[in-house]
Structures are given as structure tokens and as C-alpha cells.
Amino acid sequence: MLRKITIFTITTLVFCSIFFGLNSSFVFAGASQGLAVNCNQEVDYDKGGFKDPCGFDTIFTTINKTVKFFLYYLVTPTFAVLFAYAGFLYLTTEQKGNLDKAKKIMKYSVYGYLIILFSWLIIDTIIKFLGYDGPTFLTK
């Protein structure tokens, strides 16, 4: 049973990563899209250097974009699919074993999702403590 859940979860993650575009066009898209941070793009020939240099906030912007990508496009769809599968299993089964299986899938998917959201809260707290005041995952 655990093997089937693992295979289902891996398949869902692979599907989501392909469907939502883990490719170079997504990563290197425009200024507000993708995981790549847009700095060091324009050369300042007069002063020698860049007009938009990478700085302290660049690291935290990259972390925030990565967390946002994983939460929006991988974790939440996986949670939704697992929860829907467990709900379908719960509603359509007549066997006691499958009811327990559905309850267990629901319980552990909620636990996993909550652990991931609390992990984001810890990362966000550390980033703000270090002095980053830019937009974070839930703020725009």
C-alpha cells in the first residue's frame, strides 16, 4: 500500500513539473516570472560595472521565488490530488480496510501539507530577521 502511495506521489510530482513547465523558458522568462533573478543584465559602460547589480536581497528573492514555485506548483497540487484520491476512495469503498486506508491518506497528506507550510513560516521568519524587506511568498 505504501508503495502505491509513493508511486502515485512521484507520478503526480513528475506530472506537475512537466505540466507547469520546469524548463528553460519558465526559468529564464521575464522580470516577474521564473526562478531566475534579474540582475547584472545591463552593463554601465561609463562607470564600469552593472546598472542593476546583484545585492543582498538577490539571495532572498531567489529563496522566495523557489519556495513560491514549490508551494504553488508542486506541493499544493500534490496535496489536492492525494486528498481527492482519498476522498474518492472513502466514498466509493465498502471494505473496512479501504476506509482505513482513505482516512490514513487524508490524515498524512494534511500533516505533510501543514509541515510544509510551517517550514515556509520558519524560512520567512529567518529571512525577515536577517533584514530582507522585499515581497515574500504570501505578500506581493
Q: What digits encode the pLDDT tens for the residues 89-109?
A: 888 888 888 889 999 999 999
Q: Which pLDDT value is given to residue 1?
A: 63
Does this model's pTM top 0.75? no
Strand intervals (E) in 11-123: none
Mean pLDDT of 14-40: 54
Cα(84)–Cα(87) distance, integer angstroms = 5
Where is 119: in which H helix or E strand? helix 96-129
Q: Give the per-residue pLDDT at 139.
A: 63
Cα–Cα dist 101/86, whole Å: 8
Question: Which of these ranges, 44-48, 75-79, 123-127, has the smallest mean pLDDT?
Answer: 44-48
DSSP 98: H
* 3-class DSSP state of 16: helix
- Across 34-55, average pLDDT: 72
Which residues have C-beta within 8 Å of that of residue 77, sequence separation ≥ 6?
12, 16
